[in-house]
Amino acid sequence: MRRKVRLGEGETERVACASASAFRGLDAVTGEVLGADALAGRVGWLTALVESMCAEVTGARWNRPDLAQLASGKDRSGVRLPSNAWMALRMLGWAATAPEGVYVPDRVRRVAEEQAGRALRSAWWRTQITDAVLATWPTGPDADPMRRTGAEWEALRAACPDGQGVAASILRTRTRQIAAFLTAHGRLPAGLCELEAAPGGGRQVVLAAADKQLATLARCEDDPARYAVLTVRLPVRPDPRTRADWHPVVIRFRLPPTIPVTAALHAPTLRLRGGRLRLDLAHTTAVPTTRRDGHARAVAFDYGLNTLLTGGTLTLTGGTQPAVHTDARPVFFRADGVLAKADRLRIQAEQLGAKAAHLQSLTDGHTASGLRPDPLTAGKLAVLRTEHTRVSKRRTRLNEQLAKAAAHFMVGHARAARASVIYLEDLRDMEARGKGRTLNTRLSSSVRGQIVAHTRHQAARYGIAVVIVPARGTSRYCPTCLTVFRHRAAPDRTTPGWKWASCPNTACGYSTDRDVAAWQRIGARGLQHQHTTVLDRASGTYVIRRTAPELDQPVRHTPHPRPTTESGPQHTAADRTKAGPTRNRPVPRQRRRAPAPPTTPAARTAVAGPGGKRPAGRTPQSPTRRTQRRRRRQAPHTMSTPTRHQPYGARLGAGFHLHTHATPVTRRIQPGAQPRSLFHRSRADNPAPHRKT
């Protein structure tokens, strides 16, 4: 099948990965139908063979000279090494060997060599970081490696490859690892190879390193939009002796709904998860090309604790003096209920872990004393470990769903504003330490990295760039005059705090929420420094690494002007501003508190009488019992969260969770037919399945 997609003008390739499951297979030699357990068993035998050969190669070459030889890109004679890892290892003479008495096809050995080569190549960057930390290790009686001075930080970054682009959190993590080695052995390690053990193969099978002799992949002829067929040679026994012990197995699996019918499929990666076969399927699609600079309209977002995301739209006007304009209307993504649930799961996992550790210590004490472990204690320990694993999986799934929902929210607002870039703050160096027990826990439980990854993935589909902006000073200065803020606990309180920001400049007097001011500074900094945007080769993300103070300019609070484009003026929505009073209209199906007055004079006299009477019915009274709603302090940026959720789903602004509230996406009216949703996919991309009759 084809591995490339047809690209149009202004399009590029986007490679993504989606996970699929396989529950049965067909042995093409014997005609036996393999169930989920039998199929997982054969894939497990293949994974064990690949893992053993990969570990043998990495263990033999886990030293600095061999790592440097592979990273240099040339062999001993100076010939350039190929990009494929398995070919590079064979040119260097580091080929994998099969276990004694076991027959392994050459393509399976190629897979093991590819995985080993990738692991060894990725270790060279860690080797350089470790060498830089060891070379600049602070010495002296008062030296503290975790509290380096400014000069020591500069020396460390100068010793690192591309030191200005390395996050401080990575350097601190490597410093802690070396400090732990120093405490345990009383000396510094010689390098990474002594600090860490040789890596393995990851318990997976990368079929991309093989060719059609080992595996083939094609879409089903009867339903190409929903199903694909993988044919792979698997062993029929744990220790295959001859070529006849390798049978081709046909695996039919369902494609994930995120893969369009126009995507080009690639060979998947096989792995076992929970005793079932999982396929990591890579695919290529055509998407609009993202731009590094030249952006006229952008959306920016600031991370928070109470409000996860706060953002808005900014516009850069041209001319001799470019200026950044914004209407200062923020949008919010609040996930209080989801974060509370994640915190409950964290506490439950910690309690289970503490109980399991206690039982394990009791078991170890019995074993050390020569006594037989208590069977009841061993059974309790197994149950606790199983439950701890389940809770950890629930936390992982919840964080993944939260990150996807946040990315969907940001991309939706970017499309509605017709922005070409999303600016996010760089918080890689923020660590959860020294801020109190509660704040440290909330910071360590955040999913900022996953949010950025999912945002990049979803934004690339629409040609929207994601740029990371330095976060220093974004919440400190006023966006309208660049004066240092005074932070308070609330707008109606003078006590110091961190939530509310007020500008002390009498000519400005801007007062707003801290996060609202931060997203304006983030967006203005990104638009004003967009010519300094670079592409980080390691992560594939656009990054602004340094800022110039002379480029920072105040933000003007005005309605968004229309950005000028090459295609001409943009069509905007019709002006629906209220220009006069609304005429009275009858409200249908509304129950009246009093009956309608009589229409005839006779009836009016009979009802009212000489002295007049009140309308029939009980007098309306205020409720004597206390309602379910509780009064709560509502900051100007928050949204009301009722105690009982009567509306559900999108009607309440809740995405995948009832306690996740977000500002609804405002769609702009444009000429022509409108899609039902900003994220609606046409039937041409994914046709509807055939209805069974």
Enclosing H/E stretch for 362: helix 336-368
Structure confidence at residue 615 as a pLDDT band (50, 70, 90): low
The pair of three-digit structure tokens given for residue 561, joined into one six-digit string:
């002007």
**DSSP assignment letter at 668:** P
Q: What does the CA dihedral 581, 585, 590, 594 come to, rounded to 10 degrees? A: 80
Mean pLDDT, the chain, whole residue set:
82
Distant-in-sequence contacts of 590-594, Cβ < 8 A, 24+ apart? 593/620
Q: Measured between alpha carbons, how far is 468 from 532 in angstroms, rounded to an integer?
A: 12
**pLDDT tens-digit series, residues 231-257:** 999 999 999 999 999 999 999 999 999
Identify the top-confidence range among 409-413, 570-574, 591-595, 605-609.
Answer: 409-413
CA distances to 130, 230, 446 from 2, rounded to whole Å, are 43, 15, 40
Q: Measured between alpha carbons, how far is 112 from 98 in angstroms, rounded to an integer?
A: 10
Alpha helix segments (H runs only) across 509-591: 514-528
Q: What is the pTM of this model?
A: 0.77
Paired strand residues for 286:
13
User: Considering only CA atoms, which of 206, 251, 199 is closest in space to residue 26?
Assistant: 251
The sign of the CA dihedral 116, 127, 543, 300 is positive
What pLDDT does 588 receive? 54
| Other C-beta atoms lying within 10 Å of the C-beta of residue 223 | 14
Structure confidence at residue 689 as a pLDDT band (50, 70, 90): low
**pLDDT tens-digit series, residues 494-511:** 788 878 888 999 888 888
- Bridging pattern class, strands 465-470 and 421-426: parallel
What pLDDT does 243 receive? 94
pLDDT at residue 586 above 80?
no
Structure confidence at residue 527 as a pLDDT band (50, 70, 90): very high
The predicted model gives 283-311 an average pLDDT of 90
User: Considering only CA atoms, which of 209, 220, 225 is closest in space to residue 266?
Assistant: 209
What pLDDT does 388 receive? 94
Enclosing H/E stretch for 265: strand 264-265
Range from 35-44, 98-107, 430-439, 645-654 carrying the lowest mean pLDDT: 645-654
Are 509 and 503 spatial neighbours (Cβ–Cβ below 8 Å)? Answer: yes
* Number of residues written out for the chain: 693
What pLDDT does 198 receive? 93
pLDDT at residue 574 above 60?
no
What pLDDT does 449 receive? 85
Structure confidence at residue 654 as a pLDDT band (50, 70, 90): very low
Strand stretches in 321-371, DSSP E: 323-326, 331-334
Q: Measured between alpha carbons, how far is 421 from 300 in angstroms, rounded to an integer?
A: 9
Contacts with 510 (C-beta within 8 Å, 6 or more apart), sequence order:
478, 479, 480, 481, 502, 503, 517
Structure confidence at residue 216 as a pLDDT band (50, 70, 90): very high
Range from 269-283, 300-314, 395-409, 442-456 carrying the lowest mean pLDDT: 442-456
Q: Measured between alpha carbons, how far is 127 from 618 in angstroms, rounded to an integer?
A: 84
| Other C-beta atoms lying within 10 Å of the C-beta of residue 456 | 22
Q: Mapping DSSP to helix (H, G, I), strand (E, B) and coil, where does residue 227 land?
A: strand
| Other C-beta atoms lying within 10 Å of the C-beta of residue 360 | 14
The pair of three-digit structure tokens given for residue 403, joined into one six-digit string:
């990150």
Strand stretches in 449-547, DSSP E: 465-470, 486-488, 500-502, 511-513, 534-536, 541-543
Q: Measured between alpha carbons, how far is 53 from 47 in angstroms, rounded to an integer?
A: 10
Are 420 and 296 spatial neighbours (Cβ–Cβ below 8 Å)? Answer: yes
User: Considering only CA atoms, which of 312, 346, 300 is closest in space to residue 446?
Assistant: 346
Q: Measured between alpha carbons, how far is 358 from 500 in angstroms, rounded to an integer?
A: 45
- Percent of the residues in the chain that have a pLDDT greater than 90, as a whole number: 50
Range from 44-53, 421-430, 522-531, 560-569 carrying the lowest mean pLDDT: 560-569
What pLDDT does 337 receive? 82
What pLDDT does 213 receive? 92
CA distances to 293, 310, 332, 403, 640 from 406, rounded to whole Å, are 25, 11, 10, 5, 19
What pLDDT does 85 receive? 94
User: Considering only CA atoms, which of 555, 415, 432 is closest in space to residue 483?
Assistant: 555
Q: Measured between alpha carbons, how far is 330 from 223 in angstroms, rounded to an integer?
A: 45
What pLDDT does 304 receive? 82
CA distances to 237, 451, 530, 545 from 468, rounded to whole Å, are 51, 12, 11, 8
**pLDDT tens-digit series, residues 163-175:** 777 888 889 889 9
**DSSP assignment letter at 485:** P
What pLDDT does 7 receive? 86
The predicted model gives 301-322 an average pLDDT of 85
Q: How far is CA 581 from the centre of its chain?
A: 48
pLDDT at residue 366 above 90?
no
Question: Looking up tokens 């494609």, which residue turns up?
Answer: 255
Q: Measured between alpha carbons, how far is 354 from 352 in angstroms, rounded to an integer?
A: 5
Q: Measured between alpha carbons, how far is 95 from 87 in angstroms, rounded to an integer?
A: 9
Are 67 and 127 spatial neighbours (Cβ–Cβ below 8 Å)? Answer: yes
Helices (H) and strands (E) in the chain, counts: 13, 23
pLDDT at residue 432 above 70?
no
User: Considering only CA atoms, which of 666, 467, 671 is closest in space to residue 568?
Assistant: 671
The pair of three-digit structure tokens given for residue 267, joined into one six-digit string:
């060979």
Q: Measured between alpha carbons, how far is 322 from 296 in angstroms, rounded to an integer?
A: 10
Range from 219-228, 435-444, 500-509, 553-562 carrying the lowest mean pLDDT: 435-444
List the end-to-end C-alpha distance of the chain, in Å, as a whole number.
Answer: 31
User: Considering only CA atoms, which of 81, 176, 97 is closest in space to residue 137?
Assistant: 176
User: Considering only CA atoms, which of 71, 80, 79, 74 is closest in space to residue 161?
Assistant: 71
pLDDT at residue 431 above 50?
yes
pLDDT at residue 442 above 70?
no
Structure confidence at residue 628 as a pLDDT band (50, 70, 90): very low
Instruction: Transcribe 23-53 into DSSP letters.
Output: --EEETTT-PEE-HHHHHHHHHHHHHHHHHH
Q: Phi and psi at residue 283, in whole multiples of 5°?
A: -145, 155
Structure confidence at residue 141 as a pLDDT band (50, 70, 90): confident
Structure confidence at residue 578 as a pLDDT band (50, 70, 90): low
User: Considering only CA atoms, which of 430, 444, 424 is closest in space to residue 342?
Assistant: 444
**pLDDT tens-digit series, residues 659-683:** 667 788 765 444 444 444 444 444 4
Are 668 and 418 spatial neighbours (Cβ–Cβ below 8 Å)? Answer: yes
Are 404 and 454 spatial neighbours (Cβ–Cβ below 8 Å)? Answer: yes
Task: Look at 628 and 536; give whichever has higher pLDDT.
Answer: 536
Q: Measured between alpha carbons, how far is 146 from 133 in angstroms, rounded to an integer?
A: 11
